Amino acid sequence: MQTRKLGNSNLEVSAIGLGCMGMSFSYGPSMDKQEAIALIRAAVDRGVTFFDTAEVYGPFTNEELVGEALAPFRNQVAIATKFGFKPAANDESRWSELDSRPEHIKEVVEGSLKRLKVEAIDLLYQHRVDPNVPIEDVAGAVKELIEDGKVKHFGLSEAGAQTIRRAHAVQPVTALQSEYSLWWREPEAQILPTLEALGIGFVPFSPLGKGFLTGKITENTTLDQSDFRNTIPRFVPEARKANQALVDLLSTIAQRKQATPAQIALAWLLAQKPWIVPIPGTTKLHRLEENIEAVSVELMPDDLRDINDAASRIEIQGARYPEKMEQLIDR
């Protein structure tokens, strides 16, 4: 497995990480715990050293899963987790309320350390920017946690360029985690130039378009009723039908390169910048292996030009989130 450094930091991880959320949250029923542990350990065996979780996934159960699975490999891997939400006052199963007050951050970290079975969190992200708490206060709280030895690196998620700069001035930001793929390219306008200028790494989540870019989801696919993609405008059948054009493009390039559409989508991301580390998630071993093998797919300048030229003529249909979730994105 190739490795990459996240920006100017000393955090070096596998070129492709593993997003663990879907093992216990959002994408239908949770995996059997022992099967999930086996899958995470299979990723370690295959060279993956970067694992992503969050307090809110479950909530709590995903951190516990990742902590148990990676306990035997603690010195070989980097675990990223996140703070920034709290249970809704009237429904503790809902975690849509933001809370990045410094005292809350420190409280959350204590819980995450226990669940992850670690003495220090390798990379701690603010999950979403809290408009009620100055980002300088957030960065200052994480700076103190780093000084206390409880956190090693500071990250942001779905933060805008101005917020990134303000946070970085207080405590250097190691990585930004935001959505980025061939079907969500908004970060290219402001975010990528900002990260490059500041020496910050980029960790794209949903690098396979929440599974759509694999080519395994069509307009006729029925998702489990607990799958959150049922709430996403981009996943209504009409949008899936229209967006199939992008999958067809990936399939054409994949045939040329003797690869799969998913591998082309990941290889395209890896080719954008040397400090980009995508974190595709999966619940299946063969998909894990397929994703990992994307690091061996080399897209030449002609390939990249063909992909960009063709993709520029495809207008992706449907919003990427319901309006309520879009309101949590900092721009």
Domain ranges of the chain: 3-326
Mean local confidence (pLDDT), 164-190: 97
Strand 18-19 relative to strand 50-52, pairing: parallel
Copy the structure tokens of residue 264: 């082309």
Q: What pLDDT is recorded for position 254?
A: 96
Range 38-49 average pLDDT: 98
Annotated active-site residue in 57, 125, 180, 321: 57
Residue 319 has pLDDT above 90, yes or no: yes
* Phi-psi map region of 26: left, alpha, beta (phi>0 left; psi -120 to 50 alpha): left
Burial class (CB in 10 A: 0-12, 13-18, 19+), 219: middle
Q: How confident is the model at residue 3 (pLDDT cuts 50, 70, 90)?
A: very high
Residue keyed to tokens 């899958």: 39
Rounded average pLDDT over 202-231: 93
For the residues 251-258, what does the mean pLDDT come to? Answer: 96
Confidence of residue 179 (pLDDT cuts 50, 70, 90): very high
How high is the pLDDT of residue 169?
98
Residue 161 has pLDDT above 80, yes or no: yes
Average pLDDT over residues 21-44: 94
pLDDT of residue 328: 84
Q: At what angle do helices 237-257 and 301-311 cross, to 10 degrees?
A: 160
Q: What length is written for the chain?
A: 331
* Confidence (pLDDT) at 226: 87
Residue 95 confidence class, pLDDT cut points 50, 70, 90: confident
Give percent of the chain with pLDDT exceeding 70.
98
pTM above 0.85, yes or no: yes
The number of angstroms, rounded, from the C-alpha of 206 to the middle of its chain's C-alpha atoms is 6
- Residue 17 CA: distances (Å) to CA of 137, 164, 192, 212, 321: 29, 23, 19, 19, 23
Active site residue 57: yes
CATH 3.30.70.560 at 3-326, yes or no = no
Q: Does residue 93 carry a pLDDT above 70?
A: no
Tokens of 296: 């061996």
How high does pLDDT run on average in the chain? 95
Percent of the chain clearing pLDDT 90 (strictly above): 90
Considering only residues 26 and 198, tell me which one the structure prediction assigns the higher pLDDT.
198
Cis peptide before 72 (omega within 30 of 0): no
Q: What is the pLDDT of residue 327?
A: 82
